[in-house]
Amino acid sequence: MKKPFFWTNLFLLIGFSASLSAQKVLELNKSRLDVGKRRFNITQVIDMRFDTRRLGVARVGMGNRKEEMVLSAPLPTAFQQYFNAKLPPEADLPNVVLRVSRLGLWEETTLIGSEGARIAADFEFFLQQGDRFAYLGDRKFRFTEGLGSDITKYHDDNLRAALQAAVDFLQDSVDWKTATALSANVTAGELVQRTVPKILTDQDLVIGAYKNFTDFRNNNPRLAVQIEEKNGESVLLIEGKKGKFRRAKPDDRIWGFCDGKNMYINQFGTFYQLNKMGENAFEFYGVDYDKKMSNTAIGAGAFGAIGGLIAGSMTKSRHYVVDWETGSFLQKEE
């Protein structure tokens, strides 16, 4: 007599977790910056990301509900307030502009269910000399924290670690004794001029499989592919050892592929066509396999293997938008 009660609550839980739409606000003000004897000021932050609306996607709660990660203010404001609080400007120190050309946070789920909170950040630094700027260098920061079952809490720490890496570069990698002799050949206008990703500007799409989202953004697939028609279905073959082609498998870590005309995103071995929407967004209609795995786990935990199969099969196809900075995706509000 108890089973109907459990089934009802199970699917209410699945439906409830899928229906919520919220945001995870990342906090910066609780941490410190380790600098030592400081040799610079950070007086301006420029957001050069092509999509400045969000930082990425977090999975929250037992149902791995997807939420947009955002800051409490636009990125230049939030970062500048943080630097001003932790590194108050000093009149006798050189002024530096921090340019953020990429910043994305996301979570990676393995086939066995463990997760990692990931961050990818690209920073560039410019020394202000009057109304012009000298290039000081760049710092690329890649980091994974967690690898547990609930790693949402690590995103704040990862963001602060990225900003610490930016400060470390300025403190340890710049020769401040000779920096003032650098050629200040960058104008204020050039400093804020964005570089448009090639996937949005190239006339021709390159055929092949993308190993990651960066390959997709650069229109630069790194794996040769062939398309095989079998029983009325198209099967993706990728180049393996000794130049032989084999069927793509879920653990090949392929982000997607292009056949020269259309692009596709990979969700554990199933490929869904990507369509461009607006200036820089891509969409697809398919199943969120992270949600499917969560539903399967909930069902299996309550009712065993059969319950897991039933719960997983109830995961519906949805309309998703691909996050431009990370390659993660969010359900589109209809």
pLDDT in tens, 97-111: 999 999 989 887 655
Same domain, 166 and 203: no
Parallel/antiparallel/unpaired status of strands 23-26 and 65-71: parallel
Q: Give the range of the structural domain holding residue 203, as residue numbers without chain letter.
A: 198-331
Categorise residue 48: left if φ over 0, alpha if ψ from -120 to 50, beta otherwise: alpha
Instruction: Give the Cα-Cα-Cα angle 29, 192, 142 (nearest 5 degrees).
Output: 50
What separation, in Å, do the N-terminal and C-terminal C-alpha atoms of the chain show? 39
In a domain, 68, yes or no: yes
pLDDT range class, residue 34, cuts 50, 70, 90: confident
pLDDT in tens, 202-237: 999 999 999 989 899 999 999 999 988 877 777 888
Same domain, 243 and 298: yes
Q: Quick one: DSSP state of residue 87?
A: S
pLDDT range class, residue 135, cuts 50, 70, 90: very high
End-of-domain residue from the set 142, 175, 191: 191
φ/ψ of residue 4, rounded to 5: -55, -40
In a domain, 10, yes or no: no
Domain count, the chain: 2
Nearby residues of 316 by Cβ (< 8 Å), 6 or more positions away: 287
Q: Quick one: DSSP state of residue 182?
A: S
Task: In whole angstroms, give the CA distance from residue 180 to residue 315.
Answer: 59
- What per-residue confidence (pLDDT) applies to 249? 78
Task: In whole angstroms, give the CA distance from residue 212 to residue 229.
Answer: 25
Same domain, 174 and 257: no
In a domain, 2, yes or no: no
End-of-domain residue from the set 164, 191, 218: 191
In a domain, 9, yes or no: no
Q: Quick one: DSSP state of residue 36?
A: S
CATH code, domain carrying 80: 3.40.50
- Looking at the whole model, is its pTM more than 0.85? no
Measured CA to CA in angstroms, residue 13 lies from 6, 17, 64 at distances of: 10, 6, 12
Neighbouring CB atoms inside 10 A of 252's CB total 16
The length of the chain, given as a count of residues: 334
- What per-residue confidence (pLDDT) applies to 279? 72
In a domain, 172, yes or no: yes
End-of-domain residue from the set 151, 169, 191: 191
To which H or E segment does residue 298 belong? helix 289-313
Measured CA to CA in angstroms, residue 248 lies from 207, 221, 267, 270 at distances of: 15, 15, 12, 10
